[in-house]
Amino acid sequence: MEDLQNIDFNSLLAEYWPVLLGGALKVVGALLVLFIGLRIAGWLAKVVKTQTSKRPGVDDTLGSFFGSLVRWFVTAAVFIASLQVFGVQATSFVAILGALTLAIGLSLQGALGNIASGVMIMLFRPYSMGDFVEIAGVSGTVKDINLFQTILSTVDNVKIIIPNSEAIDGIIKNFSGFDTRRCDITFGIDYDDDMDAAIGIIKSLADDDERVMRDPEPFVKVTNLGDSSVDITARLWCKAEDLWGLKFDMTKRVKEQFDKQGISIPYPHHTIVQKSSS
């Protein structure tokens, strides 16, 4: 007790007050930088997400990704700045953070490659939701596009998941990329049948179908002399969504009219010539 009574608290306070005040100011400054910086990070992320999503060619997922990326970078910068205000030298911390980021990047390079490919797909839009495409050798309707993968539904309703890195690196066929498509149908008739009559039937049916466009004009001509048939090809332009319906209906109607007009579609056959030995 006597030792405590002999301590001059006023002298100690006067001696250490500048240190305490400086430390308190550093703590307050660091907390203030952290508070304001985090608010700015959230605001910038929201602005980036909103402005990116407003662009018609950019997916909402991409806007959220860019917003999160901005928030992460700004938050990291704010954290380092608050440490420096507090008096901590952040040079070594930045080096450790960089090494850690590199290690994570190397271990997740496959996933990061898919993310980069997903960003490219969402920016350049080689295909969109609802398009019928062929990607990585698989055909189907696009059901979902995210940062890691593209999901297709095949014509028999099988779910196909394709990593974005494989999708962007290969050849992409987008059958829904244009508003119009050309419907090609080939009909084979017997060599003894009237070619002009067959061509007239196909042209008449094409003219009667409202789905067939008049410009470009329908093309119906003999295109091949096959082993068993004379091949007549019809090339009809239509809206992309009418392609399969037009193809199926024209095939059926042409067969029905050929039967009525006595024009036969021959079965494949071979002629065997046998030479007798004399």
Query: Whole-angstrom distance between the N-terminal and C-terminal Cα of the chain?
Result: 143
Select the more confidently predicted residue: 111 or 222: 222
Mean pLDDT of the chain: 79
Of 11-25, 48-62, 134-148, where does mean pLDDT reach its minimum?
Answer: 11-25
Q: Does domain 8-107 have CATH number 1.10.287.1260?
A: yes
Architecture of domain 180-261: 2-Layer Sandwich (3.30)
Report pLDDT digits (tens) over 88-101: 666 656 666 666 66
Q: What was the pLDDT predicted at 272? A: 73
200 vs 110, higher pLDDT:
200
In Å, how far are 10, 11, 16, 17, 174 from 3, measured between CA atoms?
Answer: 15, 15, 20, 22, 89
* pTM of the shown model: 0.58
Q: What's the topology of domain 126-174?
A: SH3 type barrels. (2.30.30)
Whether pLDDT at 108 is above 50: no
Question: What are 181-222's pLDDT values in tens digits?
Answer: 999 999 999 999 999 999 999 999 999 999 999 999 999 999
C-alpha to C-alpha distance for 188 and 169, rounded to whole angstroms? 40
The domains of the chain are located at 8-107, 126-174, 180-261
Question: Amino acid letter at 226?
Answer: G
Q: Is 133 a residue whose pLDDT tops 50?
A: yes
Mind listing the pLDDT tens digit for each residue in 227-240? 889 999 999 999 99
d(CA 230, CA 252): 19
Q: What is the pLDDT of residue 4?
A: 44
Average pLDDT on 247-251 reads 95
Examine domains 8-107 and 180-261 and report if their fold is the same.
Answer: no
Distance CA 133, CA 151 (A): 11
CA distance 183 to 244: 8
- Asked if residue 62 lies in contact with residue 122, where contact means CB atoms within 8 angstroms, the answer is yes
Tokens of 159: 């779910």
Report which of residues 6 and 211 the model is more confident about: 211
